[in-house]
Amino acid sequence: MMAVTGWRALLYKETLRFWKVGFQTVGAPVLTALLYLMVFGHVLEGRVTVYGTVGYTAFLVPGLVMMSVLQNAFANSSSSIIQSKIMGNLVFVLLTPLSHWGWFFAYVGSSIIRGLAVGLGVFAVTVFFAVPSFVAPVCILVFALLGSAMLGTLGLIAGLWAEKFDQMAVFQNFLIMPMTFLSGVFYSIGSLPPFWQKVSHLNPFFYMIDGFRYGFFGVSDASPWLSLGIVGIAWLAVSAIAVHLLRIGYKIRG
């Protein structure tokens, strides 16, 4: 019972941590996504039609929502761990009887909450520009949960690995950001030359966004079942790594 209560307390603490500065952690990403939509939608609406009948602005909305979910889920767990390590207050969590599973569920769980909160905010403001249909709502929810869990877990690994903010910036700027932007957020990979289509299929972020977008339009660049399988297996793999690192106390225990 103590372990269950403990991880819930840590989950509440991590959720409260980002929510108390919601203007920065939720409001700022929503504004950024809105600016992307206004600029790209204004320039390309009427000039680009995706999947034959889908207008560009409507196509862009799910991509921006999922991009925001992924980036903020990663930012939540990674920033929390690295800040706690640098400021020295991680020791207070280490003193608790929490197991490595308790840490995992609390940090990844709070990342899912932040990712979904930002995603809902982005959808709420972008829906005024284009209202996409909801062909498969369950698919939307599943990929949103899996995507935020995946990036929250990656953020946990990055936070454990990094020892200073510069190292975290390298991880985010040279891995997370490029893979997110090159995953089909702003375009359908069907419009790319064959070589770059093959390269895009090596990017697991593509399957998260493509599967999420399928839930809105019922069409996608890859089979939604293939996307679900790849994203699910990828999350299990990174989760196994994260749990192992927590179990051995990687860079958090002397």
pLDDT of residue 1: 40
Side-chain-side CA neighbours of 163 within 13 Å: the count stands at 4
Please say if the pLDDT value at position 3 is more than 60: no
pLDDT of residue 139: 95
Q: Where are the alpha helices (DSSP H) in 88-136?
A: 91-94, 100-126
With cut-offs at 50, 70 and 90, classify the pLDDT of residue 2: very low
Residue type, 195: F
- Written as six digits, the tokens of 109 are 């769980």
* Residues near 101 by beta carbon (within 8 Å), at least 6 away in sequence: 7, 243
Tell me the C-alpha distance between 254 and 249, whole Å: 8
Radius of gyration of the chain (CA): 19
- Mean pLDDT for 160-182 is 88
Tell me the C-alpha distance between 140 and 66, whole Å: 10
pLDDT digits (tens, 9 = 90+) for 219-237: 888 999 999 999 999 999 9
- Written as six digits, the tokens of 111 are 């990342």
pLDDT of residue 80: 93
Q: What is the pTM of this model?
A: 0.92
pLDDT of residue 73: 96
Q: Where are the alpha helices (DSSP H) in 175-223?
A: 177-181, 194-200, 204-217
- Mean pLDDT for 34-46 is 81
With cut-offs at 50, 70 and 90, classify the pLDDT of residue 76: very high
* Residues near 245 by beta carbon (within 8 Å), at least 6 away in sequence: 157, 160
pLDDT digits (tens, 9 = 90+) for 118-150: 999 999 998 888 877 889 999 999 999 999 999
> Higher-confidence residue: 87 or 109?
109
Cross-strand pairs, 50: 54
Quick check: 26 and 121 in contact, CB under 8 A? Answer: yes
Please say if the pLDDT value at position 4 is more than 70: no
